Structure formats: structure tokens, C-alpha cells
Amino acid sequence: MPSHNTVQQTPAHADGSLINDQFRGTLGFGDGYTASDCNDIGALENYRLAANQSHRAAIALKAGLDQDLMCGGDPDQWSFNALPQALEEGLIQEADIERAAARVLTHKFSAGLFDNPI
């Protein structure tokens, strides 16, 4: 989970160098799964890095975030719910979504969440 802060004036949730290069590369986490912290993807608009919900979702996904963990119960505010719109707008590719989904599902399978279905 990236931190709430900025690194060299870039919010951690928008920093592909930090998530992909440092975390996954230098630190050796490879295809390790990452999740946002409480509304930190939404905060990318406050930093004036994103114009709207689909833009902030695309920035975070391309930076290497795999899951949008939100505080609060309003799904209209969950950034990754706008990924279909970001795809339509050409901000991301299907491969970006598939890569994130694969990391999340791999993590869930390795945690045993699918071992004993009810």
C-alpha cells in the first residue's frame, strides 16, 4: 500500500517509478499486489493531477495500483468504478486492467480464499 504522502512532490498513488520500479523491481516484489489507501486515488484531483474520476483511476492503475480500497459506502466515489470509462476514453488499455486483476486474483488464491467455497 503506497503511503499518503508525496515523494519528490508526486503523490505515492500516482508514482509509477515508486510502485513499479522501486517496489516491484529494486525491492524484488515482482508481481506483488498493491492496494490504495483510503481515498488516496480520489485525492489525485486535489493534487491537480487528475481532471475527473476516470482520469484519476487511469493514473493510479498505470502507476501500478491493483485495487482501490475506499473508505465510505458510496460506490459512485470509488475511483476504479470509472475504469470502464477510462478504457472508453483511451486512457488505459485492457491489458492494464488484466494485469491488475491477475495480481489481485493471484494474491487471493495464494491466501486460500478459493480453497473451501461455501
Structural domain boundaries of the chain? 6-110
pLDDT tens, position by position, 84-97: 999 999 999 999 99
Number of H helices, E strands in the chain: 5, 2
pLDDT at 58 over 90: yes
Burial class (CB in 10 A: 0-12, 13-18, 19+), 13: buried
Which residue, 2, 26, 23, is CA-closest to 14? 2
The x, y and z cell numbers of residue 40, run together, are: 488516496
pLDDT tens, position by position, 10-42: 999 999 999 999 999 999 999 899 999 888 998
pLDDT at 76: 81
pLDDT at 117 over 80: no
The x, y and z cell numbers of residue 53, run together, are: 474520476
Which residues have a Cβ under 8 Å from the Cβ of 29 and sit 6 or more positions away? 23
The pTM is what?
A: 0.91
The x, y and z cell numbers of residue 97, run together, are: 486492467
